[in-house]
Structure formats: structure tokens, C-alpha cells
Amino acid sequence: MSQTNSGIANIAQIENGSVAKKPPKWKHTWKEYKKNKYLFFMLIPVLVWYGIFHYGPMYGVQLAFKDFSPIKGIWGSDWIGMEHFKFLFYQSPDFARIFRNTILISLYNIIFGFPAPIILALMLNELRYKLFKRFAQSISYIPHFFSWVILSGIIVVMLSPSEGPVNYIIKLFGGEPIYFLADTDYFRPTLVVTSIWKEIGWGTIIYLAALSGIDPTLYEAATIDGANRWKRIRHITIPSILPVVSIMFILSLGGILNAGFDQIFNLYSPAVYEVADVIDTYVYRAGIQQSQFGLTTAVGLFKNVIGIMLVLGTNYVMKKMGQEGVL
């Protein structure tokens, strides 16, 4: 609409041979705003809210380059340049550890946790008993709806070396009780297994939707041509859900610096900090509990910048692959 208007104005300009006839642009814009003033009555409070609660914290990011003093405040504190980052990369005893733990836990979650719902969805899809299928789906969604506080409480009991049923089974088979949550060898696998337990059912929804969209005549034709089950799965089912799988995979790569704060924070203890402490848990302990605001803001900024680079990178890859990007 506005384009056609300016087009007409342009033609008018050429005909009259002067610029003066065209109303100034701001006047036109002002008119548009006035016409839609009720829309702005609605939008402005929310924009103000975004300004305070989302852009407000961004103002505080300057602390990453400052020596924060509570008396001087954020603005008044002295600039120290890249000191915090230099400390993190060259001197901090913790940074390499938390970075390594974050990446490793995320990678394990992707390697083992990513295929899990796909496999379950394929299994559910092959089931002939529809009622059982629906029942199994309803059951498998349940843990998704609980906070990690509740689930951790449950997991601690399940894995307890003296009371838990998991160690009971291990003992039945003649093994020694395992301290899953206090043993540095077992803590990360426990994280991976428990997050699969929480999300495997819920994760199937998107794949089952893709599976239900496959044309059944494809299977009929393949069966007549003599394709057995594995051939049908390999040549029809898997190629049909591959686009969804690749989108989900790339999205999960974008979140690689989020190793699962809620889960780790509620399950870890000083005994396993060596393998369990990740960026977010470190920021909480060093920042909030020990008031190292400048240093931990720098850690947070580092994480955010890597995060946004990953999002842009994966978005680029998605578009290259012919998929729709997220941006």
C-alpha cells in the first residue's frame, strides 16, 4: 500500500518537475501511526517491558569489561578491558574444566539422547495394536511434565546404594552397589540416561507426526514388489522423516553450551564437581554465591556469543541444505 503511494508520488514528481509537491516522509509515517494508534496502545507497554527485562540486562553486560564495585554501580565501575577474559583463558583453574564438562555432557546427550526418541517413534510406528500404542505414548510423556527438582528427588531414591531398586538389581546379579551420583565415573552416564528417561516419550511426538504423513500406498506398492520390513523401513520410512531429523539435529547442535542446568544443579555434589560442573552451575556459584559479578558476567557473555554464533552457523547450514532456516 505504502509502496504504491510512493510510486504515485514519484510519478507526480516527474510530471511537475519539482520535489516540493511530495509530502515529507515523516508526515506520512505519523499518519500511519495515528491511524493505528490502538495497536500501539497495546504494543507499547509490552515493548517497554521488553526494554526493561530483556534489554536491561544487556546494559549490564559491560561488567564483563569492568572491575565491579557495588558502591560505584554498573556505570561508575572502572574499565579494565579484557582482564576478566585473560584471567579466564590463562589463569583460572576452573574455566577449562567447566568448558570441557559443558561440551562433553552436551555431546553425550546428543550422541545418545538424540537417536533415542527416533528409535522409539519407529518402534511405535511399527506396532499393530493401536490401543496399546496410545497407552504407551501417554505413559511415556509423563516425566516431561515434572521439574528437575521433583525428578531429582525421585532419581536420588532410585539410585541410592542402600535403598534403591537399581542397585538392588545390580546386587541380584552379583554386582557391587554403585554410587551413581557420587562416583566421577558414573555421574555423566547417569545424567545422560536420566535425561533420556525424562524426554524420550515427549521427543517422539514430532517424529510420529512426520511418520503419520507418509503415504500408505508407498508401503503397499513396496510390499507387492517384494520388499520386506527392513527394506521398507530403510527405503521409505527413514527417508521420509530425514528432513525433520536433520532440523532437530542442527537445532540440538545450536544448544551445545546448555548442558542442562536444572538437571545438573539438582543432582550434583562437590564430590563430582570435577566431571559435573558446567558453565551455568559455575556462574551461579561464583557469581551469586561468591559475588564475583564481573568475572561471571564475562563467562556468561562468552557463552552467549558462542551461542549466537552457533545459532547463526546452524541456520546457515540449514539453508544450504535446502531447509527453511530459523531466522
Partner 1 sequence: MKPTIGEHVFQAILVLSISLLCIATIYPFLHIASVSLSSPSEASRFGFHLYPREIDFFAWNQVLSQTKIWTGFGNSVFRTVVGTLLTLVAMSLCAYPLSRKYLPHRSFYTMIILFTMFFGGGIIPTYLLMKWLHLMNSVWVYVVPGLVPTFSMLVLRNFFMGIPTELEESAKIDGANDIRILFSIILPLSKPVLATLALWTAVGHWNSWFDAVLYITDQNKQVLQFFLREIVITNTDAETFGRTVVGNLKYAPAIKAATIMFAALPILIIYPFLQKYFVKGTMIGSLKG
Residues 307-326 that bind partner 1 (CB under 8 A): 307-308, 311, 324
Complex with partner 1: residue 6 or 16, whichever CB lies closer: 6
Q: Supply the minimum distance, in Å, between the C-beta of residue 270 and partner 1.
A: 12
- Which of 7, 23, 25, 59 binds partner 1 (CB under 8 A)? It is 59
Neighbours of 69 (CB within 10 A): 13
- Residue 84, Ramachandran bin (φ over 0: left; ψ between -120 and 50: alpha; else beta): alpha
The answer to whether residue 281 forms part of the interface with partner 1 (CB under 8 A) is no
Q: Which phi and psi angles does 160 have, rounded to 5°?
A: -55, 135
Q: Supply the minimum distance, in Å, between the C-beta of residue 163 and partner 1.
A: 6
Task: Please tell me the count of residues contacting partner 1 according to CB under 8 A.
Answer: 91
> Nearest to residue 212, comparing CAs of 284, 134, 281, 286?
134
Q: Supply the minimum distance, in Å, between the C-beta of residue 166 and partner 1.
A: 10
Q: Supply the minimum distance, in Å, between the C-beta of residue 38 and partner 1.
A: 4
Positions in 14-33 near partner 1 (CB under 8 A): 29, 32-33
Q: Supply the minimum distance, in Å, between the C-beta of residue 120 and partner 1.
A: 7
Q: Compute the residue count for the chain.
A: 327
Residue 318 three-state SS: helix
Complex with partner 1: residue 209 or 221, whichever CB lies closer: 209
Which residues face 67 on adjacent strands?
78
Q: Which stretch binds partner 1 (CB under 8 A): 11-19, 54-62, 92-100, 106-114?
A: 54-62
Q: Which stretch binds partner 1 (CB under 8 A): 46-54, 76-84, 97-105, 107-115?
A: 46-54
The Cα 306–Cα 313 span in angstroms is 10
Complex with partner 1: residue 157 or 221, whichever CB lies closer: 157
Complex with partner 1: residue 18 or 231, whichever CB lies closer: 231
Q: Describe the crossing of helices 187-212 and 95-108 by its angle, rounded to 10 degrees.
A: 40
Q: Which stretch binds partner 1 (CB under 8 A): 11-19, 105-113, 153-161, 235-243?
A: 153-161
Which residues, including other chains, have CB under 8 Å from residue 299's CB and lie 6 or more apart?
A: 88, 95, 279, 282, 283, 286, 287
- Which of 120, 211, 257, 318 binds partner 1 (CB under 8 A)? It is 120
- Which of 96, 132, 213, 231 binds partner 1 (CB under 8 A)? It is 132
Which residues, including other chains, have CB under 8 Å from residue 218's CB and lie 6 or more apart?
A: 236
- Which of 106, 109, 140, 195 binds partner 1 (CB under 8 A)? It is 140
Q: Supply the minimum distance, in Å, between the C-beta of residue 19 and partner 1.
A: 23
Three cell numbers written together for 249: 539435529
The Cα 153–Cα 102 span in angstroms is 23
The answer to whether residue 74 forms part of the interface with partner 1 (CB under 8 A) is yes
Residue 20 three-state SS: coil
**How far separated are the first and last CA of the chain, in Å rounded?**
26
Positions in 193-252 near partner 1 (CB under 8 A): 197, 200-202, 205-206, 209, 223, 229
AA letter at 274: E
Three cell numbers written together for 258: 546448555
Q: Supply the minimum distance, in Å, between the C-beta of residue 12 and partner 1.
A: 22
- Which of 4, 20, 24, 53 binds partner 1 (CB under 8 A)? It is 53
> Contact at 8 Å (CB) between 58 and 66?
no
Complex with partner 1: residue 108 or 265, whichever CB lies closer: 265
Three cell numbers written together for 113: 539422547
Residue 98 three-state SS: helix
Positions in 84-113 near partner 1 (CB under 8 A): none
